[in-house]
Chains A and B, each alone.
Chain A
């Protein structure tokens, strides 16, 4: 470990002399559609440091969004690069082919893009002018153009021509849009209630509709993944709607989570939600079926609550003493970013827990999980990791088999974190 630290410091020193800021991007996990940006169509079990000339010339990356098998990178200069699976047009390059390397979305070059989101097979881009563009699979109406057509170049969503769009969140087959003035609009598949526009079952809508029950709430941010939707209000309340968490029924309108904590960030998977409190603690809704970070015995009683109609926000144990600054969720896994230098310790502690669980609780590891381990299947980080938080990253909602299941992209913008990341890599190699 110490040796890694030393090496890290050397590397940092070199960089310091040449350039004022270092940005490194790492990727790992499923890669058979080119989504890792490594130039290979292979899964990677360890974080790969990416070297792309095309990215370096585009300027520093401000935000990364990981979709089903594609990635959208937004530079601080408002430019957009995409790579990975493009079969539905989600890369926005005017053709429906995969791209192994980051490539600029040229049709957006006249706009300064400030927000992006990647869904299962569609993409959304918000310009500083308030214009919204979408491309990719539109067969559920998730592009918002009033039809069910797919597009391989970003098309402006004319419904919002007279509105100022601030954010977009793309789920598996639906999209949420946050307008300046705080209204949320939704379109695409609505079968699980994820649009929040009607009490009854809605198969899909292709024209944006206002999400109900939030008209009086000042919304700060939105999130979508799988068949879930979420919003955070400026006063710290978390609202979720769509597919139920942890076996609870679907909810067709936004529900405010009953918690005395105030939240500053939310991230969604396909079966769980993460929420970060203003006190840097992480809470989770659902998601227990693939394992926990923390003490299983302490968690168990809560799991066996009588059939509640509402999933309970539970604190993620095992992060005590860690100041978590950022959270991200993949379909079935989670990641946190934190500034404290306890990362290696945390990782070892967590691995020990997982092993203990394996031995003592065979029920804990379902057949599914055993298969996951045995056959080396793949998971990915669908969440995005933004520039604002220097990140050191590890899984918390999932397996000890880190080297098999994660794809993620790590942003680093200060030297201390480069150091953490090197330690992180060392640990991965040890396991």
Chain B
């Protein structure tokens, strides 16, 4: 096959050794690459019951056949590890030149296991590895770390780095590269647990040829042209921050820790207002023609801060915490980037603490330092405390689920997570498809692994449609997301296809030379989601993990009830061909072509 190298590099930080292994064509034909490849390698390397912050948890970086082909937005690297937040699959995508550098090393993926004896920078230089001392980088933010590493190793290296949060094991620490983040599920904490401050990659090898160079160039040009059409207009013009005011108007804007769906001060932090009063300019990720990354600057008396801001950071650090000062929200987002922490989990865990204070629950630290809803200073102070794991911040660094378990006093009732991952900015009480998507997602509450909100925000389904129709819509949205993540094509490109599966299959065929139909590609999406599910099952997933926080299931104001959610989940399991307990029957694995690929679950390390 074309466009891949057919091998990956396993690096053991404990021994400081590396070894190459083959990757069969079958893996790409069935799981595509990107997230599919990363999930597969994670499944093969991570033993059941592995401590997410222990040496045996593999940290996987995977590329895809599309990287380096000129297809717009397709320069994303897939990152996977067992998540220290959920204990299940933690997978993220990050746009960056690192993806291109990795592909030029002549490997399709890196699997990093073990733990370095001291803080380390791992340099992968065309397949040669070097472990360099990293302790002098401790305390630096990710951007400064990347700058220091490149200054030492040369600008040809591309760097993924963690900030102080990753060093100190904040469970939702992120990995940063080129200013973009592998943000959710705490892969930065996994990297920190390996004492890996930075990964630097330089690739100078030729990119593997595509099967149909002219066809790929033609298709890439067409897609680039379409990427500038109406399908991406909102992202280009205003960015995702435009969601906020509209969501509040619809009553689906999570506010004060999901105690309300409308924020009375939404206008003050709306995307429209930010655009008029704070926006400075717009950037794009590596190899992207769309450019949705809007930057904003504070306009208050304090030291000016400029930061990239998306809707998810805006809601989590704004309405969710009841904060209506746009300057404070921008400062909070910049702090999250500086410490290297996922803004959704940061904001949501702080919102949990704010509700604790509101309800008179005792927290560690001095009461005058506890954050309160609407308290902008308290928000900023608490983010710093989390990043440094200081005082109350040490508790909140555990994430809302663990913080609530430790605190008790009934506070579990307002820890707003699914499987340990805090909810993004969609109040699922009024969004039925998204509610189901959150509940069953292998990653925990996530709007990126399931974009089922698209069904809610459209006229595709009658609100009274039967459970099976919602389940089909949710499953198909997951499968499309899995294909996009595995092709490493940006989700913001999805509306630029008139028939996504048919056009993407055609492109895959032109790139790889492997025959692929629309139906086969759709099946590949289901297969990838099944690998993730199998990983979770092996790590201890049970039926009870597929649920939503009880606050969201009261049925108040026409919202969802627990019984309704249960019906939706059962319908979803039926659509997937799983049993009533959500287990995957062996015949389903055979039908999906996974039984042989995953063998009997033996660990890859046994072959080493």
Q: Do A and B bind each other?
A: no
